[in-house]
Amino acid sequence: MRIDIITVLPEMIDGALNCSILKRAQDKGLVEFELHNLRDYGIGKHRRVDDYPFGGEAGMVMQIEPIDNAISYLKSQRNYDEVIFTSPDGEKFTQSTANELSLKQNIIILCGHYKGIDFRIREHLITREISIGDFVLTGGELAAAMIADAVVRVIPGVIGDEQSALSDSFQDGLLAPPVYTRPAEYKGWKVPDVLLSGHERNINDWRIEQAIHRTKKLRPDLLEDI
């Protein structure tokens, strides 16, 4: 899988993509990340990528020409399954979205910045708009890094124990059950007896019960779709 990220702040994403699980995924040849500085496609001597909005609204708007040039160049090199724009008014990013995108071969993620991007880009160049939540960030860089992380970690072979990813929260529409490790007792705080019993069926039943209980308590909205 290849993920190309277009941004005015590549240094804001570079560290996140080159450590831990994402670095190991690259080392294994399972994913390739390419960061593209939008200013390389900017206009004029100063590589301008933004301008004042028509209509006099406050703030600056990312221009259509540099973005079109960047996307057109990438598309001349290979076919892309999706051209994603990170936007607070896009579709909500979920684990289901991550699972779906993990099956793609080539993806472009465009990071918004400033007041936004010329709307013609969204009308003609973007295939999908994604939001990580109902809030606004300075730019789409952090959102792009989060999307990349969530997508790549479910690609087969990225995580050594694939069952670990499959048991994460939201994979089955529920929050994950509690997890514990040694020691079995600390300051009088004990691990549930069932987890020490070695009885696989009872343990699985307990985990399901706990997942449902925690979801009802913390995220009852998730149960509406089950």
pLDDT digit string, tens, across residues 69-101: 999 999 999 999 999 999 989 999 999 999 999
Domains and CATH numbers, the chain: 2-152 (3.40.1280.10), 169-225 (1.10.1270.20)
Residue whose pair of structure tokens reads 């925690």 in the numeric block: 214
Rounded CA-CA distance 128/108 in Å is 10
The band of 225, judged by pLDDT with boundaries at 50, 70 and 90, is low
The angle, 0 to 180 degrees and rounded to 10, between the axes of the packed helices 20-27 and 141-152 is 60
pTM above 0.75, yes or no: yes
The answer to whether 37 touches 66, Cβ cutoff 8 Å, is: no
Residue 86 pairs in a beta bridge with 111, 130
Q: If you count DSSP H runs as helices and E runs as strands, how many of each does the chain have, helices first?
A: 9, 10
Question: How many CB atoms neighbour CB 168 within 10 A?
Answer: 15
With a cut of 90, say whether residue 193 has pLDDT above it: yes
Rounded CA-CA distance 10/8 in Å is 6
Degrees, nearest 5: CA angle 190-196-197? 135
Handedness of CA 61, 64, 65, 70 (dihedral sign): positive
